Amino acid sequence: MKVLLLTMMNAAMLALVAVPVLAQPLNAGRSMDYTAVFSAPPKNVPTKAMPDGPLLGNGDVGVAMAGPPEAQRFHIGKNDFWTRHPGNAKVITVGVVNLSMPALQGASYLQEQDLARAEVRGTFAKDGLTVRTRSWVDANANLLMTQLQCEGGSVPLSVRLTSGTGGGEDSANSWFTRKADDLPGKGREVAVAARIVGADGLDVTLQSGETVTVATAILSDLDAPDFLTAAKSIVAELTPETVETRTAQHRDWWAQFWARSFIEIPDKEIEKHWYAALYALASCSRAGKVAPGLWGNWLTTDTPNWHGDFHLNYNFQAPYFLAYGTNHVDLSLPFYQAVLESMDNGRAMAQRHGWKGIHFPVCIGPWGLSPENPDGDWGQRSDAAYAALNFIWYWQFMQDTDFLRQTAYPYLREVAAFWEDYLKFENGRYVIYNDSIHEGSGPDFNPILSLGLVRALFKNMLPMSEALGVDADRRAQWQDILDKLSAFSLQERHGKTVFRYSEKGMDWCDGNTLGIQHIFPSGCIGLDSDPKLLEISRNMIDAMHRWTDINGFSSWYTACARVRYDPKRILKGLRHECDKQSAPNLLLQYGGGGIENCSGFLAVNEMLLQSHDGVIRLFPCWPREMDARFGTLRAVGAFLVSAELKGGVVSDVTLLSEKGRDCALVNPWPDKHVQLVRNGKEAETLSGDRFTVKTSVDEILEFRVVP
């Protein structure tokens, strides 16, 4: 396991190293200054679902802010704080920091969540008295900080912690510990310690012009053996000077994060939500930490909906869809760890049913936890194959052979073993029996979702096994499955040919977006597909009309872009969702889930840049009359790509090849010759509708139209 973690951390570092080389020229002089504005206290904190208040996080600790000016609350969640009670394992809340300032009762309320700096700034005014706050969760440590200043008078304030047992106070500090459960040797415990830096005691009077900082450390037994002592020490050692140093380091972390890619499009509301989605993902997922569940690390109750766990029939995979193309692949690393830790359970489940390989229930948790019935797949055989997509994408976008060999391939090989065994060969084709396309939809035959996932799996097993030089004896069978796997079933609907949800069984559903998930995320249809298949895909989009769907935002819009549906309609739909479904914290909220909705904005990437099947296309689903540009978005093959569309003309096409793979590019200037510039020196001239060029490791390629 230690080797695995080191490999994944090395891969994460690779994602960081080369980025500034290309990001700086296009990003020069551009500020990403988006904020989420709150003019009233949040309404849904605490909640069993996604909080609507300001959100802070460092990929492990999450804080949801709430409360009026006089009684502000900071609800603390932590990704590794799970109960382990049999049949009801779940992630739960840690506790609350309460900041009381009675003099502000009836004061005006303004909070601004600054995405660039990952901090929330508050302004509260009443009768000439103004209190300003600045809160952040340190990007480099499990510290919640709130800095306070006042003008026009003095303000008594007090700090108290709520939750847990075994707490206490002294003249300067408050603390508590909380244990998730009492199972011997399996408990997860957490400690929280708070003090006011720059003042004596937990009840002080803030004078006009004075600054104090409320510092709260949050550590679990995974962070330190003596986690309570460590938490107390962290806050005790803080000084006003070290707070400022930590602030600068925190801002530097986020500045480097934002430097790794950017987009710039005319609709600034969509653009803002794209950045907000990345902010949320980076705030709740971090390499080396436990993965976030349905509601990220913003747990405000012990009874979150659906246990707040890892749902493998799309919810757990979906948030990370956004990570790959945005050049933040390292954010996905906790996902693989969680899945690998459940492999023993997956093998056992398959064996109980007489199958080979691995098969998962819908619900899992970290460390091999099974939050519900260990056989609870709800009739769906697709969960392990769905999880396989993220492993495949890491390899496709990063080309990290160590990750493939040590992490991805061992898992994918067992998923392949399951499907080699589960598929039936009848009448010259491979078929799938007894596989519900929807949860509990019955014994569906050849459901379109599983057909898509199986096709994606074996299509990628072939080149991956070749890259590793293994399993040559299995490739013939994998190719046979690909060649003879049943086709997607069709039907007529409203006079047009569309897909059928399953060949026998469920034919249609007016909810959810499973009818297009063979397009995305499975990736079985793209712009190189048969034109008739693309036409059927667009007909399916028309017939489904799921522009708003409580479970479908993570897949719908990207699938539309993948088959070049009307780009103006896609943008119209995205803007509608931003306007109608967004909470004040800029996260889209539906009934079905929380952080999964971040990935819906991957559609913007796919409109600007596609690399499906390893073919790079610039602005493939974007209105030509609409200016746009992007910097260092990541493409399949470990390429970082930048380009601009202005006045209908593509320019500034630059590509960094991290691993020296061959690069296939659709000519951005049809019918024109293209000058290739390698590391600043003119090289060969290219022509044709598309071309493939050889590249070297870390080589920078520029493509210029020949006048």
Closest CA to 382 of 292, 457, 293: 457
Neighbours of 549 (CB within 10 A): 19
Q: What is the mean pLDDT of residues 481-498?
A: 98
> Which residues pair with residue 686 across a beta bridge?
674
250's CB contacts (< 8 A; 6+ apart) are 118, 136, 138, 139, 140
Q: 263-618 adopts what CATH topology?
A: Glycosyltransferase (1.50.10)
Q: In whole angstroms, what is the distance from residue 125 CA to residue 106 CA? A: 9
The predicted-structure confidence for 263-315, as pLDDT tens digits, reads as follows: 999 999 999 999 999 999 999 999 999 999 999 999 999 999 999 999 999 99
Helices 2-17 and 19-27 cross at an angle (nearest 10°) of 30
pTM: 0.95
CA dist 52 → 43, 44, 67, 141, 300 (Å): 7, 6, 12, 25, 11
Lowest model confidence (mean pLDDT) among 145-149, 155-159, 169-173: 169-173
pLDDT of residue 7: 39
Contact 102, 84 (CB under 8 A): no
Q: In whole angstroms, what is the distance from residue 601 CA to residue 597 CA? A: 8
Q: In whole angstroms, what is the distance from residue 678 CA to residue 574 CA? A: 38
Lowest model confidence (mean pLDDT) among 15-24, 372-381, 654-663: 15-24
> Residue 313 burial (CB < 10 Å; 0-12/13-18/19+)?
buried
pLDDT of residue 29: 35
Residue 105 is encoded by which pair of tokens?
């009762």
Of the candidate CATH numbers 3.40.47.10, 2.70.98.50, 2.10.260.10, 2.30.29.30, the domain formed by 36-259 belongs to 2.70.98.50
Contact 286, 138 (CB under 8 A): no
Q: How confident is the model at residue 524 (pLDDT cuts 50, 70, 90)?
A: very high
Q: What is the mean pLDDT of residues 571-587?
A: 98
User: If you count DSSP H runs as helices and E runs as strands, how many of each does the chain have, helices first?
Assistant: 17, 36
CA dist 687 → 8, 603, 653 (Å): 39, 30, 16
Q: In whole angstroms, what is the distance from residue 317 CA to residue 336 CA? A: 10
pLDDT of residue 704: 98
> Residue 562 burial (CB < 10 Å; 0-12/13-18/19+)?
buried
Instruction: Decide if pLDDT at 154 tops 60.
Output: yes
Q: How confident is the model at residue 691 (pLDDT cuts 50, 70, 90)?
A: very high
pLDDT of residue 6: 32
Q: For the chain, which residues make up each domain, given as ranges?
A: 36-259, 263-618
Lowest model confidence (mean pLDDT) among 78-87, 335-344, 638-647: 78-87
Q: In whole angstroms, what is the distance from residue 266 CA to residue 271 CA? A: 8
Q: How confident is the model at residue 86 (pLDDT cuts 50, 70, 90)?
A: low
Neighbours of 484 (CB within 10 A): 13
Residue position matching structure tokens 């659709």: 666
Q: Which amino acid is at 517?
A: Q
Peptide bond into 443 cis (omega under 30): no
Q: How confident is the model at residue 98 (pLDDT cuts 50, 70, 90)?
A: very high
Q: What is the mean pLDDT of residues 537-545?
A: 98
516's CB contacts (< 8 A; 6+ apart) are 537, 540, 541, 544, 546, 555, 556, 559
Degrees to nearest 5, angle at CA 671 with 660 and 264: 60
Q: In whole angstroms, what is the distance from residue 362 CA to residue 319 CA? A: 16
Q: What is the mean pLDDT of residues 589-602?
A: 92
pLDDT of residue 14: 37
Domain pair 36-259 / 263-618, same fold: no
The predicted-structure confidence for 226-269, as pLDDT tens digits, reads as follows: 999 999 999 999 999 999 999 999 999 999 999 999 999 999 99
DSSP class of 601? G
Q: How confident is the model at residue 9 (pLDDT cuts 50, 70, 90)?
A: very low
Closest CA to 314 of 135, 425, 452, 164: 452
Residue 393 is encoded by which pair of tokens?
């994408």
> Which residues pair with residue 482 across a beta bridge?
none
CA dist 113 → 52, 56, 136, 252, 312 (Å): 12, 9, 10, 17, 31
Q: How confident is the model at residue 17 (pLDDT cuts 50, 70, 90)?
A: very low
The predicted-structure confidence for 620-654, as pLDDT tens digits, reads as follows: 999 999 999 999 999 999 999 999 999 999 999 99
pLDDT of residue 3: 32
> Residue 664 burial (CB < 10 Å; 0-12/13-18/19+)?
middle
The tally of CA atoms less than 13 A away on the side-chain side of residue 185 is 0
The predicted-structure confidence for 23-53, as pLDDT tens digits, reads as follows: 343 443 345 789 999 999 999 999 999 999 9
> Which residues pair with residue 662 across a beta bridge?
none
Q: How confident is the model at residue 4 (pLDDT cuts 50, 70, 90)?
A: very low
Closest CA to 433 of 420, 419, 421, 423: 423
Phi, psi of 93 (to 5 degrees): -75, 160
> Residue 185 burial (CB < 10 Å; 0-12/13-18/19+)?
exposed
pLDDT of residue 170: 78
Q: In whole angstroms, what is the distance from residue 139 CA to residue 247 CA? A: 9
pLDDT of residue 168: 82
Q: How confident is the model at residue 163 (pLDDT cuts 50, 70, 90)?
A: confident
Phi, psi of 526 (to 5 degrees): -150, -170
Closest CA to 18 of 579, 657, 661, 522: 657
Contact 246, 143 (CB under 8 A): yes
Residue 557 is encoded by which pair of tokens?
């819009």
Contact 374, 361 (CB under 8 A): yes
Q: Please give the torsion angle defined by the CA atoms of residues 167, 132, 233 and 178, in that order, rounded to the nearest 10 degrees.
A: 30
Q: How confident is the model at residue 520 (pLDDT cuts 50, 70, 90)?
A: very high
pLDDT of residue 25: 38
Q: What is the mean pLDDT of the chain?
A: 93
What is the share, in percent, of the chain residues with pLDDT greater than 70?
93
> Which residues pair with residue 618 across a beta bridge?
609
Neighbours of 236 (CB within 10 A): 14
Phi, psi of 677 (to 5 degrees): -115, 120
Q: What is the mean pLDDT of residues 78-87?
A: 84
Torsion sign across C-alpha atoms 68, 70, 71, 77: positive
Neighbours of 568 (CB within 10 A): 11
Q: How confident is the model at residue 2 (pLDDT cuts 50, 70, 90)?
A: very low
The predicted-structure confidence for 178-224, as pLDDT tens digits, reads as follows: 998 765 555 689 999 999 998 889 999 999 999 999 999 999 999 99
Instruction: Decide if pLDDT at 165 tops 70.
Output: no
Show the beta-strand stretches assigned E in 423-489.
Answer: 424-426, 429-431, 445-447
| Count of residues making up the chain | 707
Torsion sign across C-alpha atoms 478, 388, 329, 566: positive
Residue position matching structure tokens 């959810």: 512
Q: What is the mean pLDDT of residues 86-103?
A: 91
